[in-house]
Structure 1
């Protein structure tokens, strides 16, 4: 049957209408596209308005002509190209359609190494248009070659077949269309490349400042802000690596020795993983790299590590089998910050801080490079590089697009060591009334276990932030915690390492040590704001200098620090002298007995909030390692807490056995404690043990016992009152007397009440530090028989009087005290007079603990030790004061005179008692400062010594 012709015409008309609608739609799309192109973007204020308007008009005229020509080509009737006699449609499925559904691993799976997961911002229309034109130009080049080839073939075969004419005609039409399109695109490209073009103006204004080309790049002129933009540029990385490589192999010292070549040889021979670089060396040779590594260490340090590893491999070819990587450590970083001064501008920069390690976690394995296995398709995902702050989370499998959980591929996953420590501000650096700040420090790789609790360390690292869910839930808005990722750690085994004395200081210290009265000057300079109390000041001076620790057979350690107990009546400056030690000593921890517990003094065990592991946190003794632990109100501690410090005071260590942790902490510190008597005031009719609530084991661990009594002495009380009043007047900040006093005594030496010249406090601190750091006296030719005889006498007297027990520890205490006296003179050996002075101090301590009834008898028996090489003027002055006091007591009792203006003592009686003590140099005493400064006068004619008040 034949088809209806009317129906056929209707179908053709409907098709033509659909075609026209499509054409109209395509026209509208092209028009809207060109209108977007002609749309005026924000104008850069640099070119003039007239030039922009003229350029716009010219561009619009050119584009309108090209557009009309382009549209005319498109508007040619395409109904002629439709085969009127065929209703067939194209076959979309070929014979080999099944091949499209066959699996192909190379085409079906993405290569994860080539997948770009970076999120890019949305591009504006002009940037997208320019990128699309560039891509189309690349695609049109091979098409143009094919069209030329097909055209030449059609021309050669034009006479062979009549149908070829129509084909060549259609090809020519398509070529004309492609020419018009390409012409329009070339116009647009030329317009964009013009500097003052509208399109180009919009492009420049909306994009960021372009980086300079590498060909014209001045490496030394790159700013740090540009460095962060260039961090992914391989050329910059290669240049940094090259310069650092040249620094390692080419840097030499003053003698021409290649510093870091030698260091690498030593490190390679010892199979080390780190290479320490001095920052000052890097700043001299490569100042730009030094500045960059300080401002952007996260980008620069990995490049340094790769460059250093290449140098290792050049010197040791098989080093890759020993160490998989080498880390560059930055030492001697010049900028030092306090933990409480770290702020947001320190983030992601290199910092250096100092503190005491209070807590240390166990060592954990941390993922460095991890691969996962999809449980659904068994494909491998990764590797992913893990940093120390965030956790790797894979949302879905790139192969099957299914969600996890994913299993870690253990065989191809690389781990590294991870540890956390808590760093607290050093006790001596915290201002009064403030709590010490704490910061967590992350240790990686070979820095593990480089610091123990109680040690004072100096950390150089990167200050970074970390996200913590607990902080956000507490605050209700995003808050980040901060940590320090350590790069280099200096363990201050010698706690005085940070105090570098200049040559001038050392020369002044050595000159001061040659003074024959240096010991008396040091003792008088201790706590100059406290009047008198010479015995207590002597004990504190010995504790500040300390003795020498001994290690017997590399197993048993004997302490070298001196422990001092101050016991006495209230208001005798015990707490004040503890505060003086806290300010004078390099490292000191002050605590009170009522507020201190055994856990607070030794250690505590608690769970770590992040890892859930039991960790140790050191107490006051651990924090005061190689320093002083000062305990006020020592008698207020309970017996259980005092018992916990027995080991600390003698062995200077703390044994831990709790929560599965068995270890030993170091507490190498000197204990200076202050206590009050049981009844408020010291009762001389009772023994020392009866006056204080302390057990014998605790008392035997103190080297020096100082009993400070508040006795009534009119002469001493008058001088004390005058000293206190003058101190308050001079110390007032708005006092004119203070200003006048400072002007008068700016360049004048200060003297104490006995006429001894005082040492300035700043120089005294340096003197003590130098002596403890550099002077290590040895026992050479000492009188051992004298020590034996003294120990035997003390043991017998202690048994008779029932006072404090004398044990073998007192012999060790005597040796430590003699070494301390030798350090005061900066001597490398202990002399006989050092031992004699130590014996004198020990006997003074022992006698002061006795009952009043046996004190005088015991002093007479030990007089041969007490009077050894003591200043005769001082002894005569002491004797004369005792006679004056007896005369005042007699006047009070006999004549009811409260405060006599003048007291007279018979000169003959005074000299007779002095001769009984083998003191015969009276003429020098009458002209000495002891006699004149204390308002004594001598009437030779009448033989009377007068004392005016």
Structure 2
């Protein structure tokens, strides 16, 4: 066996002679010559001797010879024992180095002699060498310094059988294990240290192949697209340390921009590793995995979006948060792949349901106004809010496109189509022709595409400016996420797109800017039932068990407005609403409650509407003077993008399943007011214009406020005579509330004190315990604890979505007798007409009260409250001459199961008013007593007339003391003190 390793062929004659001589000697002695191997296990053509470049006598590689960097080559006569007893590697290496040094010295002398000869040497150097030409014998002269053989480990006299592929593989496996063990226990390895990483018993097959390492190398050779797969299953590639970057390496941005740096393979792998670690390790304060739970819920609902809270990412991985804000497109591509693989680890077959998972970023710290967007924010992630003013249809958009060659018919692709550039094919890869190319529609993959127009909210527009807008692109499951009229918050990528029409109009290059939406949050979603936490549901159930629940809800309705308990009760029942019925899918009966408030100016009618707008889960506010029939119902207009006629819903359509508030209802034109008749009863809007015949849903409650004719309500006239409204529109309102600004010294004093205290408590510098709408406090002038507005909003939403009470075993005779009496009194007094709609109103009001208490069945007390509200609505609409007579005749319905404290307080105030009036008759109209004494016997007589006989709870409650009343049971008298007299 010749000492030394096979050398690559050189241009020197000495090197050519030596290597050609090796070929000849090896052919004569039948010894096998070892040549460098290719990764496939065979011999490299470029490194093979010239004698074998003909291709006919090249030694073939074994049938099964997987490549490893340390695979040795053996002859067919080499046994396992011979291989294990081979010469010491260190000694052989020293001898090889000595021989190489001697060979290089002689070779240098020969080259010097050849160079001095002149022409021939230079000629051969330029034109190449002919190894088998003249002087070939000189190349095969014996050289004593090189032609020395070591006789150890040579056995020329013994014959061995040829080794099969299986036996050879086992031998190689034993040799690899031997090399590994020697390096592990002695510290002297036969292999380079880089080859020993990960060589243990696990992950090796029966032939000694490291399957995990081969799999990782296969992934590296196929590209970096699936580089996150090794991170997800924990097999992080540690072989190529130059490509696995740490966080410190990522901070050193080496590209032209952050996006360029992220697109490189090394940073992509490091970002994928860190994001995977974030998904697996981020926990809440209870120690439970936040995103593990979200992935589980995602699989339960077959969702497509995984929501990532940006403050979580910025807190756990600040560098990833920086990259995401400045290069969102590249980061989201990596995060989407990792999210899909994370879902597949929990749900292996999820790809059959959703081919892709998209990461949605919520909670971006800064909110930018639409009018403040500038070029510095291009290609970054922004968060804007506004109102959806227009929405297009859903169109297919190319995602992966394939082309057919028109000449050879070959299918080219797929090519990924992004929003920036258009795919153009230069030449066919099959026939090299330049087309034509047509889109293969069968194999092309599309995705849904929609565009909405986001306009600034009216409250955020500076005075005297027009609201600005931006186009927002919706993809995947964001389609139809928002409807026109909804106030939303969009988090997305602020980017530009080419617009040819804009350039032609401007005359110089201008790009239009759009926002590619990544996450959409509707303002109403914050309080929707499916967004409620378990803590919210627990608070709602606890609140429903309160004994004074109804009183707390009524007092919490517009707590900054004093009195008007009848209006607050009607509005509270309106917010909860009744149950709609759909008989056989053909006849639909509305369940929403309509309320009309009519009264003198300055009685807080508009303030009631504004509070309802903030409390209802979905509300639309409009005014009668600024609303037309089209603005309230629906209109037809031509879409500027598709040039098609489209429907645009008005206020009633936008308020579907919500509340529509109309202020200054009496200022509407008769034609405009007539257009809402269908919406208020059938809760639909039919339209037939421009070839469009459609019906839109308007399932909403209507709360309207109107002023009487002449500005003030006249008690001597009926309700219909005080307002310019027709009977058809009046009969569609379930409750009519008359608000009168009457002079009452006691009430006026309490009202003035209430307003002053309310302003003091509402001052920004006041203590947090003051009566703000969002704090749990006691109402001014009342001992009832208020419900926070946010909790009340969630309570109403929960009741509307989860509670559908049924009418069961009610006193139907009571309702029928009441209806007959109301019809008779209506004809006699000539007031508002009583129709069958009022019976349905009683049913809806009773269902709303059952919903208020989260009950599944309507009880008798619910019917009594509904009757009382209906009667108060009917009696308040009468002339003053018949007002008291009707109240006496219907007293059995009004006092039944009512709040005795409120009724007793009204009776007490009547006695005080009589005393004050008598005092002014005696001492002059400007005189006012400092104190009024009311005998307890007088109050007991009035209470007995109303069938109230127990006054103990009323006299001992805090209600009287809070209204400056003092009770002296020993003297059996009640004292009213007036201040500032």
Of 805-814 and 239-248, the range deviating more from structure 2: 239-248
Q: Which residue of 2 aligns with 1:809?
A: 837
Secondary structure of the equivalent of 1:629? strand
Instruction: Report the TM-score, using the length of structure 2 for normalisation.
Output: 0.62
Q: Which residue of 2 aligns with 1:416?
A: 446
CA contact (8 A) 1:547 1:561 kept: yes
Counterpart CA distance in 2 for 1:256 and 1:933 is: 50
From 680, 700, 719, the equivalent of 1:669 is 700
Q: Which residue of 1 aligns with 2:755?
A: 724
Q: Which residue of 2 aligns with 1:856?
A: 884
TM-superposed CA distance for 1:844, in Å, is 0.7
Instruction: Report the TM-score, using the length of structure 1 for normalisation.
Output: 0.64
- 1:420-819 pair list within 5 angstroms: 420-422=450-452, 424=454, 438-444=469-475, 452-453=483-484, 461-468=492-499, 480-486=511-517, 496-497=527-528, 500=531, 506-554=537-585, 556-728=587-759, 731=762, 749-819=777-847
Q: Describe the shift of the 1:672–1:380 C-alpha distance in structure 2 as closer, same or farther (beyond 3 A).
A: same
CA contact (8 A) 2:771 2:777 kept: no
Counterpart CA distance in 2 for 1:310 and 1:942 is: 84
Superposed CA offset, 1:800-843 (max 9, x none): 32222223332332233223323333434332222211221111
Superposed CA offset, 1:76-114 (max 9, x none): xxxxxxxxxxxxxxxxxxxxxxxxxxxxxxxxxxxxxxx
Secondary structure of the equivalent of 2:844? helix
From 950, 968, 973, the equivalent of 1:921 is 950
Counterpart CA distance in 2 for 1:312 and 1:930 is: 60
Superposed CA offset, 1:594-616 (max 9, x none): 11222222333333333323333
TM-superposed CA distance for 1:793, in Å, is 2.5
TM-superposed CA distance for 1:633, in Å, is 0.9
Of 404-413 and 573-582, the range deviating more from structure 2: 404-413
Q: Describe the shift of the 1:814–1:626 C-alpha distance in structure 2 as closer, same or farther (beyond 3 A).
A: same
CA contact (8 A) 1:568 1:676 kept: yes
TM-superposed CA distance for 1:690, in Å, is 1.6
Counterpart CA distance in 2 for 1:262 and 1:877 is: 57
Secondary structure of the equivalent of 1:827? coil
Structure 2 residue 341 is matched with structure 1 residue 326: no
Counterpart CA distance in 1 for 2:383 and 2:574 is: 32
Superposed CA offset, 1:896-916 (max 9, x none): 333321445565554434333
Secondary structure of the equivalent of 1:223? helix
Q: Describe the shift of the 1:559–1:946 C-alpha distance in structure 2 as closer, same or farther (beyond 3 A).
A: same
Q: Which residue of 2 aligns with 1:149?
A: 129
Secondary structure of the equivalent of 2:878? coil
Q: Which residue of 2 aligns with 1:217?
A: 243
Counterpart CA distance in 1 for 2:773 and 2:270 is: 62
Q: Describe the shift of the 1:245–1:523 C-alpha distance in structure 2 as closer, same or farther (beyond 3 A).
A: closer
From 879, 885, 903, the equivalent of 2:907 is 879
Q: What count of residue pairs does the alignment treat as equivalent?
A: 739
Secondary structure of the equivalent of 1:421? strand
TM-superposed CA distance for 1:868, in Å, is 0.7
Counterpart CA distance in 2 for 1:457 and 1:525 is: 27
TM-superposed CA distance for 1:710, in Å, is 1.1
In structure 2, runs of 5+ residues without a counterpart are 1-122, 139-237
Counterpart CA distance in 1 for 2:771 and 2:847 is: 40
Superposed CA offset, 1:38-61 (max 9, x none): xxxxxxxxxxxxxxxxxxxxxxxx
Counterpart CA distance in 1 for 2:912 and 2:274 is: 84
CA contact (8 A) 1:279 1:290 kept: no
TM-superposed CA distance for 1:528, in Å, is 2.1
Q: Describe the shift of the 1:711–1:216 C-alpha distance in structure 2 as closer, same or farther (beyond 3 A).
A: same
Counterpart CA distance in 1 for 2:281 and 2:779 is: 58
CA contact (8 A) 2:336 2:358 kept: no
Q: Describe the shift of the 1:150–1:489 C-alpha distance in structure 2 as closer, same or farther (beyond 3 A).
A: same
Superposed CA offset, 1:335-385 (max 9, x none): 37757368466644566777665433234444556689999x999998795
Counterpart CA distance in 2 for 1:508 and 1:717 is: 37
Secondary structure of the equivalent of 2:750? helix
TM-superposed CA distance for 1:773, in Å, is 4.8
TM-superposed CA distance for 1:144, in Å, is 8.0
Structure 2 residue 315 is matched with structure 1 residue 335: no
Q: Describe the shift of the 1:243–1:742 C-alpha distance in structure 2 as closer, same or farther (beyond 3 A).
A: closer
CA contact (8 A) 1:329 1:488 kept: no
CA contact (8 A) 1:803 1:849 kept: yes
In structure 1, runs of 5+ residues without a counterpart are 1-142, 159-211
Determine which structure has greater relative contact order: mean sequence separation of CA pairs < 8 Å that are 6+ residues apart, divided by chain length: 1
